[in-house]
Amino acid sequence: MSRPRGVYGVMAEFEDPTSLVNAARSAYQTGFRKLDAYTPFPIEELSEALHLHKNKLPLIVLIGGILGGLTGFLLQYYVTVIYFPINIAGRPLDSWPAYIVITFELTILFSAIFATFGLLALCGLPMPYHPVFNVPRFSAATRDRFFLCIEATDPLFDLEKTSRFLESMEAKEVSEVAH
């Protein structure tokens, strides 16, 4: 297998979303796993064709919510029971119903913070440069063209074979993506 240095992958340009989805399905069925597609608008079938169903963001938000709730509750418990206990009319020091509002608010706050930074981390942002920007025709990805890129890190990647495979998918143009 030839994996030339300085090559990020091979990119194919398609004129319509149906061709892109069919090419993505064929590439996945052939055994390629390091695929990415670029389109001017969301295509629901494309995520199914690329098998992009696993998402870690809900787990990250859940962890943030749990940490926020525990932080809110334990902080109030520490202040009212351990650090500065005040006995007012024989009421219990750890009156948990009074903690509900702050606990809820910190749960929402931590969930939102974890969602924001988790999304940025999972998307690899900020990313001012990506190798696909080196393909001259890629600027049409935001207007009316559809692109499928097979990365060189894929175990089945071979520059010539992968290029021929994408050309057989009726791509308008197949380009080598340099780093």
Task: Convert the pLDDT of each residue in 121-170 to its tens digit.
Answer: 998 888 889 999 999 999 889 899 999 999 999 999 999 999 999 999 98
Q: Quick check: is 25 in a domain?
A: yes
What's the pLDDT score for residue 110? 98
- The phi, psi pair for 159, rounded to 5°, reads -55, -50
**Band (99; pLDDT cuts 50, 70, 90):** very high
Asked if 117 and 92 sit in the same domain, the reply is yes
Task: Convert the pLDDT of each residue in 26-70 to its tens digit.
Answer: 999 999 999 999 999 999 999 999 988 788 999 999 999 999 999
Task: Convert the pLDDT of each residue in 122-134 to its tens digit.
Answer: 988 888 899 999 9
Which of 123, 147, 126, 154 has the alpha carbon at shortest distance from 8?
154
Asked if 116 and 137 sit in the same domain, the reply is no
Is the pLDDT confidence value at 1 over 60? Answer: no
Q: Quick check: is 145 in a domain?
A: yes
Residues of the domain holding 169: 7-52+132-178
Contacts of 52 (CB under 8 A, 6+ apart): none
- The phi, psi pair for 10, rounded to 5°, reads -125, 135
Q: Quick check: is 165 in a domain?
A: yes
Task: Tell me which amino acid residue 46 is.
Answer: L
